[in-house]
C-alpha cells in the first residue's frame, strides 16, 4: 500500500514498470522448496516502522511463545526498510538459499509476488485454521489470487471523514450524510472561512478518490476469466470521478494548491488547522492527535452517493506470506499463524494502532478505543480493493490515476477525455502483465 513518490511522465513510468514486471521476474525454477525441516533457524523479514520498538516488542513476545512450543527451533527477525523492500524481496525470490522463510508485504503486492513464483500456496493451511474463519472478506481477498491463498492478513487500513467539531458547531453544520451534502458543506465552510479548505483533497490522492468512484457504482476494471479490462471510462465510474474532481476549485480547494497533494499532505493540512474536513485513515489518528486540532475533531464514515450510505473504502494493509523456497514450510506456516493470529493482532492494535483483520477482534478494539468505530463501520459496510493482478504495480508506478485527476482539475482535459486516456494506459498494463 506504499504510495509512489515518483513524478515521471505517465507513459515513461508505465512502460518502465511493465518492463520490470516482465523482464525482472525471478524464474520459478529457483523457488522450489528444499525439504521441510522440523528444526533449525527460521528467518523472518518484517517492515521497519518509523518507531519500531512497540512492534518489535509484540513480535518478540509472539516469537518467544512460538519457540517455547517448538523445541530445536530458533527465529531470526530482520526489520527491513519499506523503501527498499521491492529489490530485497525480488532478490530473495531468486536466491532461496539466503532468503527468509516468511515475509511481510503490502497487500497490493500479492498478485505480483505470486506471478514471480515467490509465495507458497497456503490455501489448505488457511482453510484448516479456525481463526481464519473470522477474517473479514476484504482482507481475505488481499491474500487470494485465482482462488488460491498466498498468506495471511496482518492488518487492514481504511479511510473515513475527519471533521472539525468546533467549526461545524460555530457554523451550525452537521456531519454530511451524502456526497452531495459533503460538497455543499465544503463550499459553505470555505465561503464562511476563506482561509480554510472546506474539504482538503489531493490530485495525487488515489485512495481518497476511489471511494467516490465506487460509491457511484463505478469500477477500476472488469475481469473476464484471468483477463482484466479497464472500466474507469464507463459512465458510472466517470460520475464518481466527476464527484471527486468537482471538489477542486476556488470554492473549496484551489487546484494550484491541491492538485499535487497526496494523502499525507491532506492529513497534514487538517492536523495543522488548515481544513475543516479531510479523508484520513485509522493510521492517521496519531498524526492528527499530535496536531493543532487535538480535542477539536471527530470522525465519521465517508458518506456515499445516497443519503445515509457509506462509501466503499480501499482496504489497504499488509500480509505475511511463506516463501515458496522455504526449507521449513510447516514451521513457517505455524509461525505465520502465530504472528497474524488474534492475540498478536490485538496486541499490535494496542501498540501501533494497526486495525485487526478479524471482525471479532476489531469489535473489541472499538470497544476499548472508540476512535476506531467509524473505521470498523466502514469495513462492515463493505470495503473494496484494486484489481488483483501484477499490472496494478505498473498502473500505480505510472501514476495513471493521479495523472487523470490532475488533468481534469487543471482543466487540461475533460472527464471523458482523461478517463479514456487512463483506460488506454490501464489496458496496456493489463496486456503487458499477461
The SS3 assignment for 29 reads helix
By C-alpha distance, which of 434, 388, 424 is closest to 10?
A: 424
Q: Where are the beta strands (DSSP E) in 209-302?
A: 221-224, 227-230, 275-281, 297-300
Q: What pLDDT, on a 0 to 100 scale, did the predictor assign at position 361?
A: 95
pTM equals 0.83
Contacting residues for 108 by C-beta, under 8 A, at least 6 apart:
1, 316, 386, 392, 393, 396
Locate the domains of the chain by residue range. 31-157+316-382, 159-314+389-433
Q: What pLDDT, on a 0 to 100 scale, did the predictor assign at position 16?
A: 37
pLDDT in tens, 149-179: 999 999 999 999 999 999 999 999 999 999 9
Q: What pLDDT, on a 0 to 100 scale, did the predictor assign at position 32?
A: 56
Q: What pLDDT, on a 0 to 100 scale, did the predictor assign at position 260?
A: 96
N-term to C-term CA, the chain: 22
Q: What pLDDT, on a 0 to 100 scale, did the predictor assign at position 86?
A: 79
Residue 5, classified by CB atoms within 10 Å of its CB into exposed (0-12), middle (13-18) or buried (19+), is exposed
Ranges of residues in the chain whose predicted pLDDT is under 70: 1-34
Q: For residues 261-281, b (16+ Cβ closer than 10 Å) or e, as one string?
A: bbbebbbbbbbeebbbbbbbb
Angle between helices 10-23 and 400-409 (to 10 degrees): 170
CATH level 3 topology of 31-157+316-382: D-Maltodextrin-Binding Protein; domain 2 (3.40.190)
- Please tell me the distance from the alpha carbon of residue 253 to that of residue 74, in angstroms, as a whole number: 54
Total count of residues recorded for the chain:
434
At the second CATH level, the architecture of 159-314+389-433 is 3-Layer(aba) Sandwich (3.40)
Q: What pLDDT, on a 0 to 100 scale, did the predictor assign at position 393?
A: 86
Asked, colleague to colleague, whether 31-157+316-382 and 159-314+389-433 share their fold, the answer is yes
Amino acid at each position: 500500500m506504499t504510495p509512489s513518490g515518483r513524478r515521471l511522465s505517465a507513459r515513461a513510468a508505465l512502460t518502465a514498470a511493465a518492463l520490470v514486471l516482465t523482464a525482472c521476474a525471478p524464474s520459478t525454477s529457483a523457488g522450489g522448496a528444499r525439504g521441510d525441516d522440523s528444526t533449525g533457524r527460521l528467518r523472518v523479514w518484517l517492515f521497519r516502522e518509523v518507531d519500531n520498538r512497540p512492534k518489535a516488542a509484540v513480535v518478540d513476545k509472539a516469537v518467544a511463545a512460538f519457540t517455547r512450543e517448538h523445541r530445536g527451533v530458533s527465529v531470526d527477525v530482520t526489520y527491513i526498510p519499506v523503501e527498499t523492500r521491492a529489490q530485497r524481496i525480488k532478490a530473495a525470490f531468486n536466491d532461496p538459499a539466503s532468503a527468509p522463510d516468511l515475509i511481510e508485504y503490502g497487500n497490493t503486492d500479492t498478485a505480483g509476488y505470486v506471478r514471480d513464483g515467490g509465495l507458497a500456496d497456503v490455501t489448505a493451511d488457511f482453510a484448516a485454521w479456525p481463526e481464519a474463519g473470522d477474517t473479514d472478506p476484504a482482507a481475505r481477498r488481499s491474500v487470494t489470487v485465482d482462488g488460491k491463498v498466498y498468506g495471511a492478513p496482518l492488518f487492514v487500513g481504511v479511510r473515513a471523514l475527519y471533521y472539525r467539531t468546533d467549526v461545524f458547531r460555530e457554523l451550525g453544520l452537521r456531519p454530511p450524510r451524502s456526497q452531495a451534502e459533503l460538497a455543499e458543506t465544503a463550499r459553505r465552510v470555505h465561503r464562511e472561512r476563506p482561509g480554510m479548505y472546506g474539504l482538503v483533497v489531493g490530485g495525487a490522492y488515489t485512495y481518497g478518490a476511489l471511494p467516490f468512484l465506487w460509491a457511484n457504482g463505478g469500477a477500476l476494471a472488469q475481469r473476464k476469466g484471468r483477463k482484466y479490462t479497464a472500466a474507469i471510462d464507463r459512465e458510472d465510474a466517470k460520475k464518481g470521478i466527476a464527484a471527486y474532481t468537482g471538489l477542486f476549485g476556488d470554492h473549496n480547494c484551489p487546484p494550484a494548491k491541491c492538485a499535487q497533494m497526496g494523502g499525507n499532505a491532506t492529513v497534514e493540512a487538517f492536523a495543522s488547522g488548515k481544513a475543516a474536513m479531510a479523508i484520513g485513515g485509522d493510521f492517521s489518528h496519531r498524526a492528527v492527535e499530535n496536531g493543532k486540532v487535538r480535542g477539536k475533531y471527530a470522525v465519521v464514515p465517508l458518506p456515499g452517493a445516497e443519503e445515509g450510505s457509506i462509501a466503499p473504502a480501499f482496504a489497504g494493509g499488509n500480509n505475511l506470506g511463506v516463501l515458496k523456497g522455504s526449507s521449513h514450510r510447516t514451521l513457517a506456516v505455524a509461525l505465520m499463524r502465530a504472528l497474524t493470529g488474534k492475540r498478536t493482532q490485538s496486541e499490535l492494535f494496542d501498540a501501533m494502532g494497526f486495525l485487526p483483520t478479524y471482525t471479532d477482534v476489531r469489535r473489541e478494539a472499538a470497544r476499548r478505543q472508540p476512535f476506531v468505530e467509524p473505521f470498523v463501520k466502514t469495513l462492515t459496510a463493505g470495503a473494496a480493493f484494486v484489481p488483483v493482478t501484477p499490472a496494478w504495480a505498473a498502473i500505480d508506478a505510472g501514476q495513471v490515476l493521479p495523472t487523470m485527476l490532475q488533468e481534469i482539475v487543471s482543466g487540461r482535459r475533460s472527464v471523458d477525455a482523461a478517463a479514456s486516456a487512463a483506460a488506454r494506459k490501464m489496458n496496456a498494463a493489463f496486456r503487458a502483465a499477461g
